[in-house]
A and B are shown apart, each in its own frame.
Chain A
Amino acid sequence: MERIPILRMGPFLLVTIQVDLHDRLVVTFQDDLTEQISRTGARGVLIDISALDMVDSFMGRMIANIAGMSRILDAETVVVGMRPAVAITLVELGLALPGVRTALDVEKGMELLRASRGLRLGKEEDGDLED
């Protein structure tokens, strides 16, 4: 079955959304992601949406949900790579995704996660994820 791949990058998880999301895929993905966060103890999740040429309220809700679930599991979510046309449209639609952090690209998203984790936990914990 079609799945959204979840990659590990150091202490974080990287999700690159490339396919057109439909309902079943989203449900499976939310299960996969929360399971991975709790199993690996990941402290941050990067959701790369640079491949998406539109985001509607359905996908917006999914992104907000993921951020909310991750926060409960003590991981921070950063949405990266939203295209200008998508951002303009989302604002007009009325969906500003408050409470979701954003970055221009994966690299800057990692920086953001590292910085805020550094603030919270000090510098000592830079290791990889548990298996």
Chain B
Amino acid sequence: MTSKTDTLEVHSSTDIVLIRQAVRKWTAELGFSLVDQTKMITAASELARNALEYGGGGEVRFEQLEKSGRRGLRLTFEDHGPGIPDIEQALTDGFTTGQGMGLGLSGSRRLVNEFEIASTVGEGTRVTITRWK
């Protein structure tokens, strides 16, 4: 069941800062522990940066979830950039086609409870992460 949603744009590095602040606010309201808040914010920062850097910008959708008494936050990052030709490879620790550390995708997957990625070359990329309280 979804009880609250919102969408933010990812078009500049200032937007990434705003997204981090929004994730802080949402997770704090959901009663996440400080460590869990930090994990979700960090994952969001990584994925927002990817959407900006590689996807040419996009948006992130916030959804507050409630399932059998547990509350959670789901974030969906979507861009209409070039897409990822080899997802397996992109998810490998240390793999980067840019100047990064290659930890954004693989690392943020470790920071959340659920991680989904769908990407089509020439169409874009969508990454969905969920963390439960």
Report which of A22, A54, A57, A86 forms a contact with B103, defined as CB distance below 8 A.
A57
**Which of B60-68, B76-84, B105-113, B115-123 lines the interface with chain A?**
B105-113
Are B13 and A22 in contact, with the CB atoms below 8 A?
yes
Are A54 and B38 in contact, with the CB atoms below 8 A?
yes
Distance A60 CA – B45 CA, assembled complex (angstroms): 12
Distance A18 CA – B108 CA, assembled complex (angstroms): 24
Asked if B41 lies at the interface with its beta carbon under 8 angstroms from chain A, I say yes
A53 neighbours in B (Cβ, 8 Å): 24, 38, 41
Residues of B within 8 A of A (CB-CB), count: 27
Asked if A72 lies at the interface with its beta carbon under 8 angstroms from chain B, I say no
Closest to B20 in A: A54
B39 neighbours in A (Cβ, 8 Å): 88-89, 92
Distance A94 CA – B100 CA, assembled complex (angstroms): 13
Are B111 and A89 in contact, with the CB atoms below 8 A?
yes
Asked if B128 lies at the interface with its beta carbon under 8 angstroms from chain A, I say no
Asked if A111 lies at the interface with its beta carbon under 8 angstroms from chain B, I say no
**Interface of A, helix, strand, loop or mixed by DSSP:** helix
Task: Tell me the minimal C-beta distance from B121 to chain A in angstroms.
Answer: 24
Report which of A24, A54, A89, A95 forms a contact with B101, defined as CB distance below 8 A.
A95
B107 neighbours in A (Cβ, 8 Å): 57, 92-95
A95 neighbours in B (Cβ, 8 Å): 101, 103, 107
Residues of A within 8 A of B (CB): 20, 22-24, 53-58, 60-61, 84-86, 88-90, 92-95
Residues of B within 8 A of A (CB): 13-14, 16-17, 20, 24, 34-35, 37-39, 41-42, 45-46, 49, 93, 99-101, 103-104, 106-108, 110-111
